Every structure is written in C-alpha cells, then in structure tokens.
C-alpha cells in the first residue's frame, strides 16, 4: 500500500472528559466494535480511582497497566484507529495536555446531568489552542439530565465551541425513547425497561406519519418542532468547518447501554481528520514527506527499580519509521537505532517493523529521551506544541538525607524528563520548587524518589500563585523588572527566566507597572 493510502487509513484521537462522565465506558465500547477487546471491563482497570489517592501500591500497579492501555489500536471498517488514553485522575491532567499534542482530533464526553465541568473546560481549551477538531458525546441519556437545548448553550458558552447537533434525543431518563440521527437520517429506538437498542429505522422525511407510530404522537410532534428549531438556530453541518475546528458536532446517547456509540463511531470515521501537517519551529512537516520524522509525547518509567529503562512514546509525523534503522536525535545530535520498537494493536504489545504517520511507537529508552524530543532522518527539526502550562500548586522540595543528594538530583531530573511535574530553581536561593496540577503528583514524586532512586525528600510550603514566563521588546523595562524582582525570579528546565507571582494581586501589580512586558502562562511563546 502506498504511503498516502496508509496515512488516509489512520485516525488517531483521544477521548477526554471530566472524571466520571463516561470516558472509560465509551472507550471500552468503541474497542468492542473493533473487536479489540472481548471482555467489557478491560479498560476500566486502568483508572486511578479517587479512593486510591493514598494507596501508592495501587498507583504503581495502575501505572503498569496504563502502559498497555496508553494506546489502543484497532481496525474498524477499513480504518486503522488509534485511541490515545489519558489519565483518569485530574491531578495528572498535564499528561493529558501533552497527549493531546499527539492526536489529530478528540471526542469530548459530557454527562447530561452535570453538563460542562471544570476539567472539560481545561481540556477543551487545550484543543482550541491548537485548533484540534472536536466531537461532543452527551452521555447518560438513560438518566434525567439537563434540557438538550440548555446543554448546547452551556457547551457554546463555557467551552467556546460552535455546536451543531447531529443527533437529537427523544426524552431522557425513564422516558428516553431514543435519538433521531440527523447525520444518517434514521431513528434509533431505545427501550428503557430493557435498557437496550431495539430498532433502527430510516426516516428521510421526519413528517412521515409512521414516526407517530413508533414514538407516539406527542413525542413525534415535539421531535418535529425541535428539529425545525435546530435547523433554524444552528448552521448546517459542514465537514470542512469541523476540520478547521470551527464547528463541533454533538451526539447524544448512553455509553453504558451502548446506545448511540456505533453512530458516533461511524460518523467519526466519515468526518474525522487523517494525520495532519505538524508545525516545527523550522517549517511545516507534511505526513506524505518521504523521510521519517516523529516526536516523543510521553515517557513511561519502568516500575521495577532494577530495570531503570523507560518507554518513550513516539508519534510518527511523516514518512515510514523502520526498525533497526539509524535515526537522528535532534536535541542530542546523536544517531540512534531501535531494535525492539513496539506497536499497540488490540492492546497487546508487539514488535513493529514499520510504522506510518498517525501511529504511535513505543521505544525502549535508557535515558536518551525527554518529552518533546524530535527524531528525524537527519534534518534538524523541533516540533512545536509541547507547551508546559503554569502549574497550579507549588512546594519546595528538600533533601532529607545528606548522603543521598546525588540520587535525589538524578531522580528529580529523570522524573522531570518524564514530565511528572515541573521544576523551577530560585535564582538567588537555588532552592528547587516543584510545580504540579494536583496534590497527588507530589505524593507520587516522593514515593517514586524513594522507591526508584533511594532518595528521601520532603516538601516545604511556598506562597506562590503562578509562575509565568515573560518577554518584552522594551529592554529597559525588562532590566528594571529583573533587578527589582530578583528575589522572585527562577529558572525553568530550559534555563529561561520565570516570574514567581506570590498572589493574583502581585501579578496584576507587575502587569500594571510594566505594561511593555508580556507575561505568558504556557511555555510556548514567541521570543521578542
Ligand atoms: P470516566 O472514565 O469518565 O471517569 O467514567 P466511567 O466510564 O468510569 O463512568 C463513570 C460512571 O458512570 C460509572 O459508574 C459508569 O458505569 C457510569 N456510566 C457511564 N456511562 C453511563 C451511561 O450511559 N449511563 C449511566 N447511567 N451510567 C453511565 P460507577 O458506578 O462509577 O462505576 P461502575 O461501578 O459502574 O464501574
């Protein structure tokens, strides 16, 4: 098969949601369609449950499982589908942000009763930052929830997405009768008492009196009225606009009851993007280009302290990746070849000979890779889109065993390469500050430093609201700011200056006092 055909066959995406909205259930149902798993419940084990927050063995065990489910590949219709898993626990959302750099589109799951929740907002914001096309699946229609129109308004308002329903629910909860699929123009009937899909009937014309027979006169009339309203209020579905992330199709269903999942998957395969062009700092890289390029978006450490090897997850961005071939590690300017790269088909890992754009390859790594590294056939390229976000929680990390400071330094360095958290070093004090998005990450770091590196560390509190990067064309203001704020400056992992804002007020004051300085809250910004 030609490279072009291989590319067109591939769909690489992530399912994202606020915890408990139904991401795991939906993923599992999608895998069942591909015959990738036989038993429901297989993906579930991957979840870091809320109850397990202080149970470290549980976290470790689940980290092990999550290697196997990091990428779930399967074939359905004539497509090769790669679902990239994202952590179930919101304290690991930075991992999710990075995984989103390796996908071409995303499916967002929303709980019909809870509507748009905080984590959904954050994740969709990351999708919007890079114009990733998004489809929304409103889940749990077998339960009572918010009015569908209200929910669409909420999605538009809170997520900043322009929506277009492609299916429409007929009641919900006990009275849920099914959905009308506007994309395929058919009626999907659901029998709540049996909790199953009973029938799928094609209805090209919604005025057909037969509709009344299936769902009753009253519901048929409501459906007709609502569909009319939809066509008046929302623009017609335009797949080009979806691909440009200008419009977001919305589906309704119930993942648990496998209702509306096939329709979602079928429509997804029709409209979703094949592997896309990727921007590198130097130029845009097209997937059809012959030379292989790829980047590392995730690093997974081995749980066994005696085998400190790690798996680097590489997303292929162009050309064909081949086993046992020398490639160029751009950051290290070094030639490397990989003898046992793995693929993740049907959630089994196996050695792969060749991989194509959109594929994810797992590479055994002994410490050569950092998140964001690029590999090529020789060209010096650096892919963009691996931003670090200003963390939300901060603590000083302090060595509590003077004999083991080397181990601690090494451990911290390696964990930061993996992207477990962010490290800042106070410019004046040299003190190390760990920044995370959740409390659990601090606990995991402490636990892993001890168990994998034999280093014991403790935390000390720091009053810190945000770390931000800053740039300015106004050299005078920049120098003045750096001199006056020297006690509140630190270096990030690339050695760049960051401002440690103690409070929202302090940040605001700095912004007002130095109007020519731009403060950045993600690490990816244009130098001035
Ligand atoms: P997550 O990955 O987004 O965190 O959510 P997950 O799929 O684990 O679903 C969270 C809970 O919601 C689960 O219940 C799941 O069974 C339920 N759920 C998912 N889809 C539907 C749906 O369409 N309808 C209804 N009524 N419930 C749904 P749980 O009790 O927390 O877990 P479990 O005991 O069922 O495993």
Q: Specify if 525 maps to a domain.
A: no
Question: Residue 452: its pLDDT value, please?
Answer: 84
pTM of the prediction? Answer: 0.85
Would you give the distance in Å from CA 352 to the centre of its chain?
A: 24
Total domains, the chain: 3
Question: Residue 39: its pLDDT value, please?
Answer: 47
Q: Specify if 427 maps to a domain.
A: yes
Q: Are 48 and 182 in a shared domain?
A: yes
Q: Are 284 and 180 in a shared domain?
A: no
Q: How far is the CA of 44 from the centre of ligand 1 (A)?
A: 10
> Among 241, 271, 301, where does a domain finish?
271
Q: Are 267 and 282 in a shared domain?
A: no
Q: Which residues contact 386 (CB under 8 A, 6 or more apart)?
A: 98, 101, 295, 297, 371, 372, 524
Spatial distance between the Cα atoms of 400 and 420, rounded to a whole number of angstroms: 21
Question: Residue 44: its pLDDT value, please?
Answer: 52
Contact predicate 336/323, CB 8 Å? no
Q: How far is the CA of 200 from the centre of ligand 1 (A)?
A: 25
Q: What radius of gyration, in Å, describes the C-alpha atoms of the chain?
A: 25
Q: Are 332 and 417 in a shared domain?
A: no
Index of the ligand 1 atom closest to the CA of residue 143: 26
Contact predicate 121/154, CB 8 Å? no
Q: Are 344 and 411 in a shared domain?
A: no
Of 22, 86, 120, the residue with max ligand 1 atoms within 8 A of its CB, to mutate for a pocket test, comes to: 22
Q: How far is the CA of 43 from the centre of ligand 1 (A)?
A: 12
Of 20, 30, 192, the residue with max ligand 1 atoms within 8 A of its CB, to mutate for a pocket test, comes to: 20
- Range of the structural domain that residue 341 is part of: 278-376
Q: How do the pLDDT tens digits run along the chain, 528 residues long? A: 799 999 999 999 999 999 899 998 898 888 888 765 544 444 554 444 443 334 555 555 555 555 556 788 888 989 999 999 887 666 666 778 888 999 999 999 999 999 999 889 988 988 998 899 999 999 999 999 999 999 999 999 999 999 999 999 999 998 898 999 988 888 888 876 555 556 677 777 888 888 888 889 999 999 999 999 999 999 999 999 999 999 999 999 999 988 899 889 999 999 999 999 999 999 999 999 999 999 999 888 765 556 667 889 999 999 999 999 999 999 999 999 999 998 876 556 688 899 999 999 999 888 899 888 999 999 999 998 766 777 889 999 999 988 888 999 999 988 888 888 899 999 999 999 999 987 888 988 898 899 888 999 999 999 999 999 999 999 999 999 999 999 999 999 888 999 999 999 999 999 999 999 999 988 776 666
Index of the ligand 1 atom closest to the CA of residue 254: 23
Q: Are 99 and 174 in a shared domain?
A: yes
Question: Residue 54: its pLDDT value, please?
Answer: 44
E strand intervals along 269-365: 278-279, 284-285, 293-301, 310-318, 321-322, 327-329, 334-336, 342-343, 350-351, 354-355, 360-365
CATH of the domain at 429: 3.30.70.3280
Q: Are 183 and 286 in a shared domain?
A: no
187 phi/psi in degrees, rounded to 5 = -105, 125
Left, alpha or beta for 174 (phi > 0: left; psi -120 to 50: alpha)?
A: alpha
Within 6 A (CB) of ligand 1 lie: 17, 19-25, 88, 139-140, 142-143, 254-257
Q: Are 64 and 124 in a shared domain?
A: yes
Query: b or e along 36-65 (b: 16 or more beta carbons within 10 Å of the residue's beta carbon)?
Result: bbeeeebbeebbbeeebbeebeebeebbee
> Among 323, 343, 376, where does a domain finish?
376
Of 23, 24, 25, 137, the residue with max ligand 1 atoms within 8 A of its CB, to mutate for a pocket test, comes to: 25
> Among 236, 271, 306, where does a domain finish?
271
Q: Specify if 3 maps to a domain.
A: no
Q: Considering only CA atoms, which residue is closest to atom 15 of ligand 1? A: 22
- For CA atoms 236, 239, 245, 250, give the dihedral sign: positive
Q: Give the residues across from 296 on adjacent strands.
A: 314
Q: Specify if 388 maps to a domain.
A: no
Index of the ligand 1 atom closest to the CA of residue 21: 3
Q: Specify if 455 maps to a domain.
A: yes
CATH of the domain at 321: 3.40.50.300
Q: Are 397 and 249 in a shared domain?
A: no
Question: Residue 305: its pLDDT value, please?
Answer: 56
Index of the ligand 1 atom closest to the CA of residue 41: 36
184's enclosing H/E stretch is none
Q: Specify if 383 maps to a domain.
A: no
Q: Are 443 and 321 in a shared domain?
A: no
Contact predicate 395/424, CB 8 Å? no
Q: How far is the CA of 349 from the centre of ligand 1 (A)?
A: 27
Q: Are 92 and 166 in a shared domain?
A: yes
Q: Which residues contact 248 (CB under 8 A, 6 or more apart)?
A: 133, 134, 135, 136, 155, 161, 162, 163, 164, 242
Index of the ligand 1 atom closest to the CA of residue 17: 3
Q: How far is the CA of 86 from the centre of ligand 1 (A)?
A: 16
Of 256, 258, 261, the residue with max ligand 1 atoms within 8 A of its CB, to mutate for a pocket test, comes to: 256
Q: How far is the CA of 172 from the centre of ligand 1 (A)?
A: 17
Q: Considering only CA atoms, which residue is closest to atom 22 of ligand 1? A: 140
Q: How far is the CA of 257 from the centre of ligand 1 (A)?
A: 10
Q: Are 199 and 251 in a shared domain?
A: yes
Contact predicate 444/59, CB 8 Å? yes
Question: Residue 138: its pLDDT value, please?
Answer: 98
Index of the ligand 1 atom closest to the CA of residue 19: 4
Question: Residue 47: its pLDDT value, please?
Answer: 47
Q: Specify if 2 maps to a domain.
A: no
CA distances 91 to 18, 119, 352, 362, 420, Å, are 12, 10, 33, 24, 10
Q: Specify if 382 maps to a domain.
A: no
């Amino acid at each position: 098969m030609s490279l072009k055909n291989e590319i067109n066959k591939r769909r690489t995406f992530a399912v994202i949601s606020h915890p408990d909205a139904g991401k795991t259930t939906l993923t599992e149902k999608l895998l069942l369609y591909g015959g990738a798993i036989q038993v429901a419940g297989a993906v579930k084990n991957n979840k870091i449950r809320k109850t397990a927050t202080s149970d470290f063995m549980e976290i470790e065990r689940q980290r092990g499982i999550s290697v196997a489910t990091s990428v779930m590949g399967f074939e359905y219709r004539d497509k090769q589908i790669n679902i990239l898993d994202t952590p179930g626990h919101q304290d690991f959302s930075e991992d999710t942000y990075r995984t989103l750099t390796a996908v071409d589109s995303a499916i967002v799951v929303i709980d019909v009763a809870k509507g748009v929740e905080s984590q959904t907002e954050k994740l969709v914001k990351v999708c919007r930052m890079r114009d990733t096309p998004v489809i929304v699946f409103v889940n749990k229609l077998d339960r009572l929830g918010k009015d569908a129109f209200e929910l669409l308004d909420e999605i538009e308002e809170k997520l900043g997405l322009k929506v277009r329903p492609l299916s429409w629910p007929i009641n919900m909860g006990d009275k849920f009768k099914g959905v009308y699929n506007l994309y395929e123009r058919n009626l999907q009937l659901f029998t709540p008492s049996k909790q199953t899909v009973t029938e799928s009937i094609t209805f090209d014309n919604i005025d057909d009196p037969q509709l009344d027979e299936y769902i009753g006169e009253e519901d048929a009339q409501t459906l007709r009225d609502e569909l009319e309203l939809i066509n008046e209020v929302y623009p017609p579905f335009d797949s080009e606009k979806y691909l440009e992330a200008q419009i977001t199709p919305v589906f309704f269903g119930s993942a648990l009851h496998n209702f509306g999942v096939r329709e979602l998957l079928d429509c997804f395969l029709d409209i979703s993007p094949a592997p896309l062009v990727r921007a590198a700092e130097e130029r845009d890289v097209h997937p059809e280009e012959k030379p292989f390029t790829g980047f590392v978006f995730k690093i997974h450490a081995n749980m066994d302290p005696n085998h400190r090897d790690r798996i680097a997850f590489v997303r292929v961005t162009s050309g064909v990746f081949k086993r046992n071939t020398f490639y160029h590690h751009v950051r290290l300017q070094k030639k490397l070849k990989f003898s046992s790269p793995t693929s993740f088909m049907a959630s089994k890992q196996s050695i792969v000979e060749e991989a194509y754009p959109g594929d994810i390859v797992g590479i055994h790594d002994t410490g050569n890779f950092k998140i964001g590294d690029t590999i090529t056939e020789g060209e010096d390229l650096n892919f963009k889109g691996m931003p670090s976000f200003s963390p939300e929680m901060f603590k000083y990390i302090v060595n509590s065993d003077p004999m083991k400071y080397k181990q601690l330094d090494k451990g911290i360095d390696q964990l930061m390469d993996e992207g477990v958290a962010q490290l800042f070093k106070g410019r004046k004090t040299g003190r190390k500050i760990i920044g995370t998005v959740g409390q659990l990450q601090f606990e995991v770091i402490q636990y892993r430093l001890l168990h994998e590196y034999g280093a014991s560390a403790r935390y000390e509190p720091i009053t810190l609201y945000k770390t931000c990067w800053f740039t300015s064309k106004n050299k005078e203001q920049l120098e003045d700011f750096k001199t006056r704020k020297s006690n509140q400056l630190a270096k990030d992992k690339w050695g760049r200056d960051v401002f440690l804002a103690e409070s929202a007020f302090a940040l605001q004051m700095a912004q007002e006092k130095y109007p020519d300085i731009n403060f950045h809250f993600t690490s990816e910004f244009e130098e001035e």
